[in-house]
Amino acid sequence: MSVNTPVVWNSNMYHSKEIAEILEGVVDVYLGDFKYGNDKCALEYSQVKNYMEVVQPNFEFAYKTAEILLLHLVLPGHLDCCTRPITEWVAGNIPQIRFNLMFQYRPCYRAMEYPDLGRQLTLEEETDAIDIVRGVGIEDLLI
């Protein structure tokens, strides 16, 4: 008996082009994290270089080959530098996806070393993040 079992790939989307090509035709749904809207924040908080140069093409490739549930964890104090650029890029490049806006951020581990990350989100930040996503025209928004 043949069963078509969907493959769901949970990823930070920071992988090589070769990995993306290997996953083509295998992955049915990407649970893709899009954490930072710029290279500066990615380098400062996650010590990741060339974040946008790596992640954006991987999302574009996934968009052409599978479905995407994009996960964006809203960081306190990072609406203008991260949330807004991510949503604008998504709306212009991969608009037909499910966008999961997440407010579960909790400061832990080394977060207190960074004043802007050493606190939880405010209700105003949560409301503003929703407005940002809706404002760029992303229709399939999960909160």
Instruction: Tell me: pLDDT of 2 over 80.
Output: no
Please report the pLDDT score of residue 4 as a whole number: 82
Mean pLDDT of the chain: 95
Q: Is the pTM of this model over 0.85?
A: yes
Q: What is the DSSP letter of 78?
A: -
Percentage of residues in the chain with pLDDT exceeding 70? 99
pLDDT tens readout for residues 67-77: 999 999 999 99
Q: Does the structure show a pLDDT above 70 at 137? A: yes
Q: Which residues contact 79 (CB under 8 A, 6 or more apart)?
A: 125, 128, 129, 132
Query: Percent of the chain, pLDDT > 90?
Result: 89
Identity of the amino acid at 137: G
Exposed, middle or buried, 106 (CB in 10 Å: 0-12/13-18/19+)?
exposed
At residue 69, the 3 state secondary structure works out as strand
pLDDT at 79: 98
User: What average pLDDT does range 34-47 have in this prediction?
Assistant: 97
Q: H helices of 1-143, where?
A: 17-23, 39-46, 51-65, 84-93, 123-135
The pLDDT of residue 27: 96
Tens of pLDDT, residues 85-130: 999 999 999 999 999 999 999 999 888 888 889 999 999 999 999 9
Distance, in Å, from the CA atom of 36 to the CA atom of 82, rounded to the nearest integer, reads: 5
| 8 Å CB contact between 10 and 48 | no
The full set of domain ranges for the chain reads 8-77+106-142
Question: pLDDT class for 1, splitting at 50, 70, 90?
Answer: low
